[in-house]
Chain A
């Protein structure tokens, strides 16, 4: 079906060991040892939260809450398992809760070319206003397309396609068979293609 992207197995194994050492130290009472975990996982969890929720403020708050839950649940973490899928499971479940609340309140997210959207764009040395507007339009297209995905497809897409996780890790985090992960990824891609290329421009 698809090819597994290259992932440096040695790097992942090294990080797994670092995670477990940090957890072990934290459980021994060295609370600051958890800082290394926060530093290591904040970029990826923020990125995931932002793409799931669509707003930088919501993403910051969600990441804070995810680490809070992980920290408080640390005594229940088994050192025989890998930390990385465990914290991502916490993250996905928490983000789902937030997404449910948003759906229940029927607040459709409408993205505009506003200051917040422009502020999320990567810094560019080109101050050309036309370039800024174009980047904002690209971001809007991407955000709208991702938000339109069925929730479970969005999760698989973000973990696999954006975060670059191996299928087996996505399967563990989402408690799905690997075949189902591949199927959901394929469906996400099909939907994104359809959304992005629908005929009927403004």
Chain B
């Protein structure tokens, strides 16, 4: 068989079901692969994907040691007894976005290309909130919200380009992504969540 026929055969063999492929590779697949290095590579790749474990990559031998050393250098873990008990309420975040609005009084003729936008999120148990969006290159650390009065309402003012659509999400404690519940428009982010859309 030629390579195209072989690939079709490989596809039908894989389509039979990955969980039932514990049987030997058909002779026809092996015979052509013995003569064609490209098809041999595809067969090897297919077998490794099916095996799964074969895809694991071993780290450099000293990686865990280097990580431990760096953790010790960079961190002093302050253990405050109440933190252990605060873990329970901290895990139950109340996520309510209060509002956002455009402030036209900040509009200046020489800055007509941009407007000031205030974003807010109510997250009383959060220790850190950032807003991550297309204007900051989806950098999770670029734009941090603040809660100066400690009432659990985090806010930030941003200067964004006018006449543009911006996508964004809030990131709480560097681990939980949240769409803006008050945003009326949103789009799937490809990771099982939603990006909020801000139209200026």
A residues lining the B interface (CB < 8 Å)? 2-3, 26-29, 31-32, 34-35, 38-39, 42-44, 46-47, 50-51, 56, 59-60, 63-64, 67-69, 71-79, 89-90, 93-94, 96-97, 100-101, 103-105, 120, 122, 134, 137-138, 141-142, 145-146, 150-152, 155, 161-164, 174-176, 189-190, 192-194, 196-199, 201-202
Cβ–Cβ < 8 Å partners of A46 in chain B? 57-59, 63
The secondary-structure label for the interface of chain B is helix
Q: In the docked arrangement, what's the CA distance between A2 and B16, Å?
A: 12
Contact with A along B38-80 (1 / 0, CB 8 A): 1011101110110011011111100110011011101101011
Cβ–Cβ < 8 Å partners of B192 in chain A? 152, 174-176
Known: A134-B41, A138-B41, A194-B11. A35 touches B68 (CB 8 A): yes
Q: In the docked arrangement, what's the CA distance between A192 and B190, Å?
A: 18
Cβ–Cβ < 8 Å partners of A44 in chain B? 56
* A71:B75 contact, CB within 8 angstroms: yes
Q: Which of B86-94, B116-124, B153-161 sits within the interface?
A: B86-94
Contact with A along B123-146 (1 / 0, CB 8 A): 000000000101001111000000
Tell me the total A-B contact number using a CB cutoff of 8 A: 191
* B59:A193 contact, CB within 8 angstroms: no
Known: A152-B190, A162-B53, A194-B11. A201 touches B38 (CB 8 A): yes
Closest chain-A Cβ to B48's Cβ sits at a distance in Å of 6
* A47:B63 contact, CB within 8 angstroms: no
* B176:A71 contact, CB within 8 angstroms: no
Pick the contact of A196: B45, B86, B91, B137 (CB < 8 A): B45
Task: Supply 14 further A-B pairs (C-beta < 8 A) apart from A67-B67, A94-B174.
Answer: A35-B64, A42-B67, A75-B80, A100-B132, A104-B137, A134-B40, A142-B45, A142-B55, A162-B52, A176-B192, A193-B11, A193-B46, A196-B10, A202-B38
